[in-house]
Amino acid sequence: MATLIHRTLSHSHKTLHLRFFSQAALALDQSSSPSPLTYLEGFPKPDPKYAETILAIPRSTSGKSISAKERKVGRVPSIVFEQEDGQHGGNKRLISVQTNQIRKLVKHLGQSFFLSRLFDLEVRSEFGTGDLIEKVRVLPRMLHLHAGTDAPLNVTFIRAPSNALLRVDIPLVFRGEDVCPGIRKGLFLNTIKRTVKFQCPPDIIPPYIDVDLSELDGGQKLLVGDLKVHPALKFLRSKDEPVCKIMGARVSDQQRKK
């Protein structure tokens, strides 16, 4: 049975009530659960190079003025939720993460790839050295960037225990354009979707989905149902929705050279 411990810390003349979560509260009883899912051979796996722990500290209150003060000192106001239906949750915890760390991860991964990757989140009373309040695996749910500078303004995380089913927008990576029959004829690729939403067990969320264009000719299209994914992933929309299509008038060799 999970145990909740309440502690009171003095911080900047304010009292923070910190709730410590046991890891048991975020996992199923392994004795009654099936074997954990794993990535299948030949399918994309997360690059371990970006397996980074996101550091956070708790916040006592929210609001525009509080958020502005956090950003001014190099922190991003954030929230972490408990997983419930894969999209919304309870047990909300107000936290702040480091602006430089989030900016670096988004820059290296790209925004869509950042939002489809799991991270360990470590919440301490002070960055790096304070008492450990919670350490949990999370999925970034939403990211708000400044329109002019791309600086992270807000991040929302959702807890991701192995027994969860999370709704994730998986980025698409198009391959085979150099040998695509339609493109080689001078036609062009109309990209209809850049991401596709799936219901995913957290242990096998793909970092991206490969889209093979190598056999696509003029007038042909690929549908969501044509995508090759782990059988445990569930499409959340119609499998007949188009992903891309080869279309357009043929371009002459002379036009291509221009």
Assess whether the region 47-161 and the region 165-252 belong to the same CATH fold: no
pLDDT tops 50 at residue 1? no
pLDDT mean over 201-213: 95
pLDDT digits (tens, 9 = 90+) for 52-69: 999 999 998 888 888 999
Cβ(246)–Cβ(183) under 8 Å? Answer: yes
Contact 110, 143 (CB under 8 A): no
pTM tops 0.75:
yes
Residues 179, 190: Cα–Cα separation, whole Å:
16
Which range has the worst mean pLDDT, 21-30, 36-45, 86-95, 112-121?
A: 21-30
Average pLDDT over residues 148-166: 92
Looking at per-residue confidence, does 63 or 118 come out higher?
118
Among 27-36, 41-50, 190-199, where is mean pLDDT lowest? 27-36
Strand order in the sheet with 242-247: 188-191, 242-247, 221-223
More confident: 151 or 249: 151
- Structure tokens of 206? 């793909």
Band of pLDDT at residue 11, cut at 50, 70 and 90: very low
Does the domain formed by 47-161 have CATH 2.40.240.10?
A: yes
* Mean predicted lDDT score pLDDT of the chain: 84
* The residue type at 90: G
Q: Parse the chain into domains and list their residue ranges.
A: 47-161, 165-252
Which range has the top average pLDDT, 8-12, 19-23, 28-32, 139-143? 139-143
Report domain 165-252's class: mainly beta
- Answer yes or no: is pLDDT of 10 > 50: no
Q: Which residue has the higher pLDDT, 9 or 170?
A: 170
The SS3 call for residue 94 is strand
What is the average per-residue pLDDT within 78-97?
77
| pLDDT for 19 beyond 80 | no
